[in-house]
Structure 1
Amino acid sequence: MTSTTERLLPRLFLLILAGVLALAGWQWHDRSPLSANLMELVPGTDNDALVTSAEKRMQAPLNREMLVQVGHADRQQAVELARTLAEQWQASGLFEKVQWSLQADLPALRTQLLQGRIAMLPAVDRTLLIDDPKAFIEQRVQTLFDPFAGFSLVPGQDDWLGLTGRIQNGLPKQGSVEADLASGALIATAEGKSWVLLRSRTRSDAFDMHLPGQVADLLAKARGQAAPAGGQLLAASGLLYAADGQKQASREITWVGGGATVGILLLLLLAFRRWSVLLAFVPVVVGMLFGAVACVALFGSMHVMTLVLGSSLIGVAVDYPLHYLSKSWSMKPWRSWPALRLTLPGLSLSLITSCIGYLALAWTPFPALTQIAVFSAAGLIGAYLTAVCLLPALLARVEIRPAQWPLKLAQQMLDCRTALLQRINTPILLALLLAFCGGGLWHLTTKNDIRQWVSAPQALTDEALQADRKEVTSLGLLGIAAFETQRYQAAVDYWTRLLAALPAQDASRSALEGGIARARENLAQQSSPVKARSLKVRVALAESLKNNVQPTDSVFIFARAIKGPAAPLAVKRITVADLPAEVELSDADAMMPQLNLSNFAQVQLVARVSRAGQPTTGEWVGRSQPLASDTEAQQVVTIDSPDN
């Protein structure tokens, strides 16, 4: 017989669920509250309105603009392709403006030249005007009477000294780019093709959940149209990176969430042998709904990374119905409401402990963890309420006769545990567990780098660089990134191209050549592994300094390269009380994998006393003479000098 509580609980929960669904509909009615902006996940302080506005203006070209070069062997055909693409993209409704030809606002340009004619005047002309105004005036008079002296955008009566004309003539020439007078297009010639510049600006930004994918699809379609005609498109935009990031997030959600879902459904069917037990997945769906609504309500939006990481909630939320479904092995016949009453204290305690664990993350300064904490806690509450209030009513008429293999498997595992405890004492097992955990902690490394959250596709970077092969900043940064990821051949290629683009007198050429040499050395070592090296050192303290140090002062013993980075190649730390001491420095003591003894031919040994515990500065120091990094004889370093 159904009690009053059993009748009212499902109805009350359905009212709550209807309210949550209505709130979710209101949150999504105008636009998607999902966000893909990684900067929202990092700690920071709230800026004032002026700073925020300035940042938005600076980021707008990256987040809303796309630059495309349309190339073709025939110059006129390249112009026609660019014109066609511009018309199609403008008609798509995705872009606020698509520009392929010069559309100069001459009145505004004249005003700008007049207002800034002193500031924009070339240095040579400014010097002539100040130092020799007579000669300047004479040149101006000659220009006025010379019919072949060119033209100025600003009439002579508005600019008597002709400063704006000198500004026009002094503007730097931008490589091989030239304006096509017939069409107004900007055209560059490279690799036997004419390249027309096409610039577009979208109506929304790269953090829109739909726009980046639509722009990427439109670009792919344009490439498909241009290829049969012999055309080629090169594109660069933050929108393309955003589209790739969204695809990556979708794949991860599909694999993590989808894999967990399929596994749980399969387990439920194999264990309970009833299609109706798939209703146990209802708490998972409701939990995801509660978590999403709570995040949007508290933060105004929900980041896609919260969905990716919060998909682990599926495995926790499905535990609630499994607790009382598992009573079907001992309760004959099994009934949902009596089974719930037997497991309700455990379910409630599980909810409380899980929420405490998740909400502890909310107090961290990392917004990503705060969102995940709120999503998970609200999701668990929703799943708990569904499992307690609604699911028993849905399963009220279901009779479950579970398979016996899970029970037998569990019994076999218990028997193995009992046998293990009989052979090995609990303290020994605890020691083995602690040793296992200690080994994991020993190899634990931390990296404070947001780039680990998302990987930038190399193909997009290479395409953007192909559009401007001599852009020195990009070449330098790409070389550094390749070197850090041990792609030494790519680093050599980038830096070699950068070296060719730099002026002969550029001061950075020597450092760049050194980086190329280092990359080639590392490349050679990758193909022929170098034997790990070590140095044996005996460190002693001079007798005259024993009254000037404390036994607890730190002593840092390290090796550094004679020619190379200043960072230590291997380092160990002891105290003054340990002196004299014999230590061995090896590649295992390296602070970074690529900076070790085996990678450098000559090194110097240093021993430093630091009362503050800082390896870079101290009170007393001892140094060895330069020596080969493969020296086998023990070296002696005496700490005897002030550390200046």
Structure 2
Amino acid sequence: MSFQRRLALAWAFVVCLLLGHNAWLWLGQRVAPDTDILALLPAEQRDPVLQQSFTHMVDSAQQRVVVLVGATQWDEAQRAAQAFRAALAPHAGVLKPDAASDEAQASWLASLQPHATLLMGAEQERALRREAPRAWVDAAMGRLYSAFSGPKLGAFRDDPFGLFAGWAQERAGETPVRPRDGELFVAGAGREYVLLTYTLAQPAFSLAAQQAAVPLLDVATVAAQRTVPAADIVKAGVVLHAAAAGAQASREIHTIGVGSLLGIVLLTWLTFRSVKPVALTVLAIGIGFLGALSLCWLLFGRIHLLTLVFGASLIGVAQDYGIYFLCHRLGADPALDSPRLLRRLLPGLGLTLLAAVIGYMGLALTPFPGLRHMAVFSGLGLVFAWLTVVCWFPALVHGHTLRAGPLARGYRGIIKHWPRVGASLLPLLTVALLGVLAVLGASRLQVNDDIRSLQSSPPELVRDQIKLGKLLDAPSPVQYYLVRGATAEQVLQREEALKRRLDALVASRDIAGYQALSNWVPSRQTQTARLKLVEDKLLAAGGPLDTLARELGEDAGWYADTAAHLRSTAAPMELAAFLRTPAAEPWRHLWIGDVADAGGQQVASIVALRGLRYAALPALARAADGLDGVQWVDKVGGISELLGRYRAYMGWVVLGAYALVFAVLLPRYRGRTWRVLAPTAAASLLSLALLGFAGQSLQLFHVLALMLLLGVGVDYGIFLQEQGRDGREGEEGEEGEEGNAAPWLAVGLSAASTILSFGLLGLSGTPALRAFGLTMLAGITLVWLLAPCFTVAKEETDASPVLA
């Protein structure tokens, strides 16, 4: 048995293992691709508590679905809401409705009553320190006799000076939502809305949750609008965005993958006029895809849906190796056996694989898990496709297997008329003109690293999210303060110090307000100070309570009993106990609790902001300056800054990769090595110029595309330089014209296929993939046009073997 046959059988065994593993994954384990977009973002490795706080904020929101059912009349909004609620009622196992408002309000008020004397609004606390005693007597008399004295919670003796009522009103000001007729009510834009909230039973990023919940919400929407045709339904939830992203990615897998495959099949058929090359090319691509999928699952334990979308573009690269062999087989003497032909082509094939893997591995140097997965997936896919060509193609394709099709016959003659870079005037003028265009285009290139420019949710979902955020005055989950301390008491004290600074920003309308657990549970230090303040300013003999008793005609017993009653509702508040009460339900996400970082065990919390103005972000960052344990977190700004940092970093990596590839190619091509890399380098510069002329802003994903362009484009330089490297065609028995045209044909087919695959990637609805694809589209086209210009004829090589 020949070595080639043993190699083919060994590879067949490996392929069988791959097929078995993929069958086990998809049919046995029923694995599903990950759709969590956060998995693509970099983790904060230097500060695990910061990363934990962001995850905590996101996790608190991702299981919730918020719905506003509105109409111009309140009774219509109620009827539409009842229809919406009734449609979802049988499906509580998928979407569980949250508690009713009236019951919840009564419950949390009762749970706070034992501490009522300690709870007062910030303005009232300041007033206690400033106002004269008489002002408090008049305020109490007004509360007793005036119908317009504000809310009254309980009996007059429970809160004669309105401190607890003022605190409750201040807390109610943290949200525009109010109870009304057993519903949660909010108004805006000329409509009155019923607020409905649901909790998902399954994780929002699971395909099962998306497939179950989203259709139910659509059915409920139809039911509400059937009941009240003019009803306005506003829905928001992570599950809606995740489902939209999953549906978009699924569509793109079919568009990019199937479109590329059909294009490659057509090109291969027109070139070889045979089904066999088409089948072999598809076989190599398929094995590459399955091999990458299996190993990525073993390495990472999951596969992201966007990795599969990006992996679909692998089709445009993996076919290069098969096409290179097939084109040489077509142009070679039929008497030359395929294993011998492969040995001749193997150095060039090996270098193309190495250069492509270097390009893909550049993506793995980023801090983005998603990009690392894409890089490893694509690199492994190329290796498996390459091994399929080396192990199977020589055994399956023989001298008389292929015939030149119309595309091959017509295309081969074009190379004779292609311009070459030389010492003549016209090529030099052309190079100078392209250089000027590159400089002009690059000078117009702007930089934009804002992560928000990569937003890809459907416009209707974004509109609903913005509308709901404005109506509910919801805090931002990506801009907040992280507060840390050795104990819960220290964290609460640091929150209170921060809030004193934030009050000034509320006054200047930089923010509408803030949410913090210290609003509900003051620090023990503050509780002690407040109780002393109440004792000194209100309850002391001869003070406002004593005066109030006399003016009301009550005796000393009433004064003593009322003072004792107020002291009895001054029980110290404990944060842990409060977090177990119904009142804490909307605010539990603000408490992270015990955390561990490099400094040891700590306690952490979050202070969230409502209605912040983006122009005020610098002032918000300064508010944390000098406060121990307080850190301003701007996840949007942080990721955008990281994108910018790695854009610059990857620019240097690209240059380093060129140097590395040059060093890899130098032993084989010596003085002509620059000719292998020049087409790709020129195409990269011109692609940047085109981005500038098109008014595009440079971002990380354009630079990553240039990294990959090196790995793919250098293949074409290798293909063309291999042909005339040492003039051995005659030794191998290749036909003169057809043999000389084989690399040119391979470059044309490879470029056309890659342009097709990455061109379709440029149609992606994901802005990052679109930027990547469009850069590759322009770059590969330019490499294809430029690569033949840097080839040298055999006589030129003989005349100047080193400096050609």
Fold match (TM-score > 0.5):
yes
CA offsets per residue over residues 590-616 of structure 1, 9 Å max, x none?
xx99xxxxxxxxxxxxxxxxxxxxxxx
Question: Which residue of the partner structure matches residue 110 of structure 2?
Answer: 110
Question: Which residue of the partner structure matches residue 217 of structure 2?
Answer: 219
Q: Which amino acid aligns with 1:37?
A: I
SS class of match (1:399): coil
Question: Which residue of the partner structure matches residue 71 of structure 1?
Answer: 70
What is the correspondence of 1:324-343 to structure 2 with a 5 Å cutoff? Answer: 324-326=325-327, 327-332=329-334, 337=339, 340-343=342-345
CA offsets per residue over residues 334-385 of structure 1, 9 Å max, x none?
9765654453333222212222232234334455543333222111111112
CA offsets per residue over residues 14-58 of structure 1, 9 Å max, x none?
33234445555666637534244256334742543x544432231
CA offsets per residue over residues 76-108 of structure 1, 9 Å max, x none?
554344234335435446745223732418555
CA distance in 2, matches of 1:352, 1:53: 39
Q: Which amino acid aligns with 2:85?
A: A
CA distance in 2, matches of 1:444, 1:301: 38
Question: Which residue of the partner structure matches residue 291 of structure 2?
Answer: 290
Question: Which residue of the partner structure matches residue 239 of structure 1?
Answer: 239
Aligned in 2, Cα 1:207/1:313: closer, same or farther, shift over 3 Å?
same
* Aligned partners of 2:64 and 2:237 also within 8 Å: yes
SS class of match (1:198): strand
SS class of match (1:67): strand
Question: Which residue of the partner structure matches residue 264 of structure 1?
Answer: 264
Q: Which amino acid aligns with 1:455?
A: S
* Aligned partners of 2:333 and 2:399 also within 8 Å: no
Q: Which amino acid aligns with 1:281?
A: V
CA distance in 2, matches of 1:30, 1:110: 49
Q: CA deviation at 1:281?
A: 1.1
| 2:364 maps to 1:362 | yes
Q: CA deviation at 1:403?
A: 1.3
SS class of match (1:186): strand
Q: CA deviation at 1:269?
A: 1.6
- Where is the strand percentage greater, Structure 1 or Structure 2? 1
Question: Which residue of the partner structure matches residue 347 of structure 1?
Answer: 349
CA distance in 2, matches of 1:458, 1:262: 31
| 2:453 maps to 1:452 | yes
Aligned in 2, Cα 1:101/1:74: closer, same or farther, shift over 3 Å?
farther
Question: Which residue of the partner structure matches residue 59 of structure 2?
Answer: 60
CA distance in 1, matches of 2:402, 2:121: 88
* Aligned partners of 1:117 and 1:167 also within 8 Å: no
Equivalent of residue 378 in structure 2, options 367, 376, 379: 376
Q: CA deviation at 1:415?
A: 1.4
Q: CA deviation at 1:120?
A: 4.2
CA offsets per residue over residues 253-292 of structure 1, 9 Å max, x none?
4443333222111111222222233221122122223333
* Aligned partners of 1:69 and 1:467 also within 8 Å: yes
* Aligned partners of 1:64 and 1:238 also within 8 Å: yes
Q: Which amino acid aligns with 1:278?
A: V
CA offsets per residue over residues 452-509 of structure 1, 9 Å max, x none?
333344433333444466678999x9xxxxxxxxxxxxxxxxxxxxxxxxxxx96779
Q: Which amino acid aligns with 1:273?
A: R
Q: CA deviation at 1:315?
A: 1.5
* Aligned partners of 2:330 and 2:404 also within 8 Å: yes
Aligned in 2, Cα 1:151/1:360: closer, same or farther, shift over 3 Å?
closer
* Aligned partners of 1:234 and 1:467 also within 8 Å: yes
* Aligned partners of 1:86 and 1:100 also within 8 Å: no
What is the correspondence of 1:130-209 to structure 2 with a 5 Å cutoff? Answer: 152=153, 164=164, 167-168=167-168, 172=172, 178-181=178-181, 184-188=182-186, 194-209=192-207
CA offsets per residue over residues 277-336 of structure 1, 9 Å max, x none?
322112212222333344444444444443444433211101122122221243437976
CA offsets per residue over residues 378-397 of structure 1, 9 Å max, x none?
11111112222245556579
CA offsets per residue over residues 533-586 of structure 1, 9 Å max, x none?
xxxxxxxxxxxxxxxxxxxxxxxxxxxxxxxxxxxxxxxxxxxxxxxxxxxxxx
Q: Which amino acid aligns with 2:179?
A: A
| 2:84 maps to 1:85 | yes
CA distance in 1, matches of 2:453, 2:288: 28
5+ residue gaps, structure 2 = 479-506, 512-611, 616-694, 697-804
Identity %: 26
SS class of match (1:401): coil
Q: CA deviation at 1:67?
A: 1.5
CA distance in 1, matches of 2:64, 2:360: 40
Question: Which residue of the partner structure matches residue 391 of structure 2?
Answer: 389
SS class of match (1:344): helix
Higher relative contact order (Cα pairs below 8 Å, separated by 6+ residues): 2
SS class of match (2:334): coil
Larger CA deviation: 280-289 vs 338-347: 338-347
Q: CA deviation at 1:197?
A: 1.1
Question: Which residue of the partner structure matches residue 672 of structure 2?
Answer: none
Aligned in 2, Cα 1:109/1:445: closer, same or farther, shift over 3 Å?
same
CA distance in 2, matches of 1:270, 1:117: 87
* Aligned partners of 1:35 and 1:207 also within 8 Å: yes
Q: CA deviation at 1:66?
A: 2.2
Question: Which residue of the partner structure matches residue 742 of structure 2?
Answer: none
How many equivalent residue pairs? Answer: 481
Question: Which residue of the partner structure matches residue 415 of structure 1?
Answer: 416
Aligned in 2, Cα 1:402/1:104: closer, same or farther, shift over 3 Å?
same
Q: CA deviation at 1:409?
A: 1.7
Aligned in 2, Cα 1:334/1:210: closer, same or farther, shift over 3 Å?
farther
CA distance in 2, matches of 1:405, 1:116: 87
CA distance in 2, matches of 1:350, 1:245: 35
What is the correspondence of 1:216-615 to structure 2 with a 5 Å cutoff? Answer: 216-229=214-227, 230=229, 231-279=231-279, 280-326=281-327, 327-332=329-334, 337=339, 340-392=342-394, 399-411=401-413, 413-417=414-418, 430-431=431-432, 434-435=435-436, 437-467=438-468
CA distance in 2, matches of 1:149, 1:188: 20
Aligned in 2, Cα 1:388/1:71: closer, same or farther, shift over 3 Å?
same
Aligned in 2, Cα 1:464/1:367: closer, same or farther, shift over 3 Å?
closer
Aligned in 2, Cα 1:14/1:458: closer, same or farther, shift over 3 Å?
same
- Where is the helix percentage greater, Structure 1 or Structure 2? 2
Q: Which amino acid aligns with 1:416?
A: H
Question: Which residue of the partner structure matches residue 576 of structure 1?
Answer: none
CA distance in 2, matches of 1:31, 1:329: 45
CA distance in 2, matches of 1:142, 1:403: 99
Aligned in 2, Cα 1:461/1:354: closer, same or farther, shift over 3 Å?
closer
CA offsets per residue over residues 106-165 of structure 1, 9 Å max, x none?
5555334535752444633774499677986998899899999987469989x9998645
Aligned in 2, Cα 1:338/1:34: closer, same or farther, shift over 3 Å?
farther
Q: Which amino acid aligns with 1:385?
A: L
Aligned in 2, Cα 1:316/1:8: closer, same or farther, shift over 3 Å?
same
Aligned in 2, Cα 1:98/1:17: closer, same or farther, shift over 3 Å?
farther
* Aligned partners of 1:177 and 1:186 also within 8 Å: yes
Q: Which amino acid aligns with 1:460?
A: L
* Aligned partners of 1:328 and 1:400 also within 8 Å: yes
* Aligned partners of 1:100 and 1:185 also within 8 Å: no
SS class of match (1:199): strand
SS class of match (1:357): helix
